[in-house]
Amino acid sequence: MDGQIIRTEYSEIMQKSYIDYAMSVIISRALPDVRDGLKPVQRRTLYDMYELGIRYDRPYRKCARIVGDTMGKYHPHGDSSIYDALVVLSQDFKKGQPLVDGHGNFGSIEGDGAAAMRYTEARLQKITQEVYLSDMDKDVVDFMPNFDETEKEPVVLPVRVPNLLLNGADGIAVGMATSIPPHNLNEIVDAVKAYMKNNDISVKELMKYIKGPDFPTGGIVTNKDELLNIYETGAGKIKIRGNVEIENLKGGKMNLIINEIPYTMIGAGIGKFLNDVAMLVETRKTTDIVDISNQSSKEGIRIVLELKKGTDVENLKNLLYKKTRLEDTFGVNMLAVADGKPETLSLKQVIEHHVDFQFEVCTRKYKTLLSKELEKKEVQEGLIKACDVIDLIIEILRGSKNQKQVKDCLTMGVTEGIKFKTKASEKAAKQLQFTQRQATAILEMRLYRLIGLEIEALMAEHAETMKNIALYEDILNNYDSMAKVVMNDLDKTKKAYGRSRRTVIENVEEAVFEEKKIEETEVCFVMDRFGYAKTMDKNIYERNRDTVHSEYKYIFLCMNTDKICIFTDKGQMHTVKVVDLPSARLRDKGIPIDNVSNYSSAQEQILYVAGLEAVKNSVLMFATRNGMVKRVQGEEFDVIKRTIAATKLTDEDEVILVGACDEMEHLVLQSKDGYFLRFLKEDVPEKKKAAIGVRGIKLGEGDHLEYAYLLESRVEYPIEYKGKEMVLNKLKLGKRDGKGIKVRA
């Protein structure tokens, strides 16, 4: 097949392709539409349930059926995304107004996942059917072809309330993300009505109705004064706290009861909170908590902290606010698809788009209804007129040969071929001018409609039709009339589904926790070869010195106000505050050093551990697998960050030695191929921690350093090499950057 080669810049193709991909993700998957507040997967799932007839007053259907049908017809992006959306739409702790009624295990507020879709069932909630999917048969929204053009799906659902505010939204697209908190239905309805009465209303005036977010988990919003700027710009941070109550017990004891949590804590955050509180106790940040238990159930959240007698409760609450997620921030970014493009919207803009959409939906609905009423009016007038000349119509019917003759006579007065009893009848027939629709209705009319009462009913029906026509024309031609219809719908929704506010909005001073001053004492740090660390009293160490040295790998004295420096083979230095380590007895195990630092035992290996004060007062020697060496002044490691690069490494290099070299005289390097090089430590220049260093030994092809040793003067250092003992001090003294001596077995 002949083809034409098009030459173009590669970067231009990549740029265009990436932009197309990004817009596809933004519009078609990740961001909600401002009109119905739904992402495509949510909209398609709800519409599919509507099509399948899974209504609120009908039996539940298997979620696997819903997911499969949605994926096959509308959303070809995998079943997990559809089922995840279905689950979230049913969770009352995530959505201000759940849209799906789930039956079975749909997860919990504590982060438990939903059961597999083959075990769970679902159906639409009543509000979804009446407020989100009503009037779908009245041409109120546009439909578009699905992915393979075998079905039609709605571009948007005719939602009667601003769902973007009611249920909020979250989604991550390419280069942008949306995060909108849920709000209270009653307040939203009042704000929309206020806007419809005064289009020039400000965001500040709208906030007389919408006080702020209303999270399904309750809690307290603590920065009320900052909300105005957030709702004006569509972006900002909302500070939220859990609700804490004091429960007084016998004997002067007290419990702290957490019965509402921040919205951001739902899921794994609750377990993280419990761990954080336990860590505060373990690291002696507080000694006031005796026990912690999670007594949450279907009735709600209940986390109980048992306190010591005489606890300063306010100070403890402030500690929890500062050190745990009991106080957290919800990042707001009111980003949605508006007019086909992503846009960050203010509170007023969201309401503006919603009201415009409602007027569009109402206009299309009442145009459809008016069209149907006009058709009914036409038919009714034809039947009424036909009743007045029914004898003539019967004569035409009896004298005609086929239906076409009858229709032509009724609509155009054509009498050729029709036998009439009298000339007068023929003359009257020529005057008939029914419409095609009226003629069809007359031919389909049953004889019982000629009964007197039926004729009266027809007249009454016609009067009702005329009344409806007048009403619909008034709504379509009068802004106030249409606004009244929209507001009536909002009032009905508010009355049927509104609920009281759960989240308290107020200004709260920032939590201030006064840490008890630590009495400076000397302690013994110990860590075993498995990475379990603790501190113990100096006197306990002195009494059990032999036992301690036999069981632990790293042992040294330090102050309880000091930091511990951990150097690893990846060139990193991690720091841990001594106070963060548990002060334990001799036989207590301690805690993994991973738990209190950024060190990961799965990814790196510890080479050297020392107190920061000791490191600052020393010079550290570094040696790497590729033979690079350097000395670094310890003061460079006195930093605030918990993790820094202790040295710079080239690709595929790693540290094999870190150690204090103040009391040392020689450095010995040992390679894989059996080359040993001993030289004075002064041959190694001092460098900054960000430097790579200098070459310590010339390595052959494929060779690398396996070990490096620092030797103290006048002390013998015997090692076992290939089954034989050798003393490192007796190696011939060389110069740095030499090849070294080959030692054979």
User: Above 60 in pLDDT, residue 664?
Assistant: yes
**Whole-Å CA distances, 332 to 165, 181, 236, 470:** 12, 7, 5, 46
Q: Are residues 486 and 539 in the same domain?
A: no
Rounded alpha-carbon distances, angstroms, from residue 159 to 140, 347, 493: 11, 18, 11
Claim to verify: residue 358 and residue 318 sit in the same structural domain: no
The answer on pLDDT for 87 being more than 70 is: yes
> Looking at the structure, do residues 393 and 317 belong to the same domain, yes or no?
no
Say how far residue 16 (Cα) sits from the centre of its chain: 29
Average pLDDT over residues 460-486: 93
Please state, in angstroms and rounded to a whole number, the distance separating the CA atoms of residues 259 and 244.
7
Task: Report the C-alpha gap between 284 and 581 in whole angstroms.
Answer: 9
* Cα 22 from Cα 1, distance rounded (Å): 33
| pLDDT above 90: residue 517 | no
| Mean pLDDT calculated for residue range 542-564 | 92
Do residues 295 and 413 share a domain? no
Place of tokens 């930093």: 639
477 with 364, same domain: the answer is yes
- Domain hosting residue 316, numbered range: 243-325
Question: For the chain, how many residues are written?
Answer: 745
Whether 8 is in a domain gets the answer no
Q: What is the mean pLDDT of residues 311-338?
A: 91
Q: How far apart are CA 739 and CA 728, in angstroms?
A: 16
Give the pLDDT confidence score for residue 2 in this predicted structure.
61
Residues 471 and 183 sit within 8 Å (Cβ to Cβ) = no
- Residue 340 placed within a domain: no
**Is 366 in the same domain as 439?**
yes
pLDDT-derived band at 21 (thresholds 50, 70, 90) equals: low
- Residue of 350, 245, 386, 230 whose CA lies nearest to 307: 245
The pLDDT, as a whole number, for residue 279 is: 84
Residue of 322, 321, 319, 332 lying closest to 242 (CA atoms)? 321
Q: Is residue 97 part of a domain?
A: yes
| Residue 591, domain CATH | 2.120.10.90
Asked if the model's pLDDT at residue 136 lies above 60, the reply is yes
Catalytic residues: 119
Only one residue has tokens 């620092």, namely 710
State percent of the chain over pLDDT 70. Answer: 96
Q: Give the whole-angstrom CA distance, residue 157 versus residue 204.
A: 30
What's the chain's average pLDDT?
A: 90
Q: Spell 43-81 as b/e; 16+ CB within 10 A means b.
A: bbbbbbbbbbebbeeeeebbbbbbbebbbebbbeeeeeb
Which pLDDT value is given to residue 237? 95
- What tens digit of pLDDT does each residue of 33-85 get? 999 999 999 999 999 999 999 999 999 999 999 999 999 999 998 899 999 99
Beta carbons of 100 and 106 less than 8 angstroms apart: no
CB atoms near residue 223 (< 10 Å): 19
Residue 298, domain member (yes or no): yes
Q: What 3-state DSSP class applies to 310?
A: coil
Alpha carbons within 13 A on the beta-carbon side of 615: 25
CA dist 272 and 232 (Å) reads 34
pLDDT of residue 26: 62
* Residue 64: closest CA among 124, 108, 116, 101: 116
Q: Number of C-alpha atoms within 13 angstroms, CB side, residue 641? A: 9
Strands (E), 113-232: 121-124, 143-145, 152-154, 169-172, 177-180, 220-221
Q: Which two tokens stand for residue 253?
A: 């004891």
Among residues 274, 275, 273, the alpha carbon closest in space to that of 265 is found at 273
Residue finishing a domain among 120, 143, 170: 170
* Global confidence as pTM: 0.74
> Taking Cα atoms as reference points, which of 193, 204, 241 lies closest to residue 221?
241
Of the residues 170, 186, 206, the one at which a domain ends = 170
Given this model, what pLDDT does residue 394 score?
83
Average pLDDT over residues 386-406: 85
Of 662, 702, 699, 698, nearest in space to 682 by CA: 662
Are 530 and 440 in a shared domain?
A: no
Listing DSSP states for 174-208 in one string gives: SS-EEEE----HHHHHHHHHHHHH-TT--HHHHTT
In a domain, 676, yes or no: yes
The answer on pLDDT for 134 being more than 60 is yes
- Binning pLDDT at 50, 70 and 90, where does residue 612 land? very high
Q: Looking at residue 416, which CATH number applies to its domain?
A: 1.10.268.10
For the stretch 165-196, pLDDT in tens is 999 999 887 778 899 999 999 999 999 999 99
Are 529 and 469 part of one and the same domain? no
Would you tell me how many other CB atoms lie within 10 Å of the CB of residue 597? 19
Residue 1: pLDDT above 70? no
The verdict on 294 and 376 lying in the same domain is no
Cβ atoms of 552 and 526 closer than 8 Å: yes
pLDDT of residue 296: 87
Residue ending a domain, among 142, 170, 198, is: 170
* Whether 284 and 360 share a structural domain: no
Residue 250 lies inside a defined structural domain of this protein = yes
Coil, strand or helix: which one is 16? helix
Spatial distance between the Cα atoms of 192 and 209, rounded to a whole number of angstroms = 9
Same domain, 709 and 587: yes
Asked if the structure places residue 39 within a domain, the reply is yes
H or E segment and range at residue 694:
strand 694-695
CATH code for the domain in which residue 63 is found: 3.90.199.10
Query: Nearest 5°: CA angle at 479, between 476 and 480?
Result: 115
CATH of the domain at 285: 3.30.1360.40
Percentage of the chain beyond pLDDT 90 is 64
pLDDT band at residue 405, thresholds of 50, 70 and 90? confident
Give dist(CA 297, CA 250) in Å, integer: 25
341 is a domain residue = no
**Is there a single domain that holds both residue 300 and residue 360?**
no
pLDDT of residue 442: 83
In the chain, the number of structural domains is: 4
Task: Name the residue with higher pLDDT: 158 or 588.
Answer: 158
- Position 454 pLDDT exceeds 70: yes
Average pLDDT over residues 505-527: 81
66-70, 379-383, 611-615: the lowest-pLDDT one: 379-383
How far is it, in rounded angstroms, from Cα 125 to Cα 63?
A: 15
